[in-house]
Homo-oligomer: A and B are copies of this chain.
Amino acid sequence: MHDPRLVGARVATLATIDPDGRTHLVPIVFAIDGDTLYSAVDRKPKRSQTLRRMENARARPDVTVLVDHYEEDWRRLWWIRLRGRARVLEEGEERERALELLAGKYAQYRADPPDGAVLAVDVTEVREWAAASGGR
């Protein structure tokens, strides 16, 4: 979780499971603190979309996050996949700290702070892959 590729990545994909059992994917911006990943809900959310990921995480907290690095030289591809347990922070100190971390990483958030809930993922499993070490 201290990998600079992970900590510095600008975007990731969050997977949760919908009530109908299908996978739900959404891109997230995120910050890492220790073994926890934080992602906030932007302001002016499209409510149905925003709530879906949070509702899914509440109902089935085992979530997966993928950070993928693509470039046309496929020898330089890599990805990092995290699995963990999600918690939804509606308020409180941990949420405030997470918002500070996110604002520290993203100037966009400093200009326009998110004001919704924060998703915390306590990561239990990290899998790293790089093209140099195997097939895609």
Which residues does A use to contact B, with CB under 8 Å? 10-11, 13, 15-17, 21-27, 41-46, 49-50, 62-66, 68, 70, 72, 74, 77, 79, 81, 83, 108, 129, 134-136
Contact = CB atoms under 8 A, between A and B. Distances in A.
11 contacts: A13-B68, A15-B23, A15-B64, A17-B21, A22-B64, A23-B23, A27-B70, A27-B77, A27-B79, A27-B136, A44-B135
A22 B49 CA distance: 21
A62 B25 CA distance: 13
B11 A66 contact: no
Given A49-B129, A108-B74, A129-B49, A66 B135 contact: no
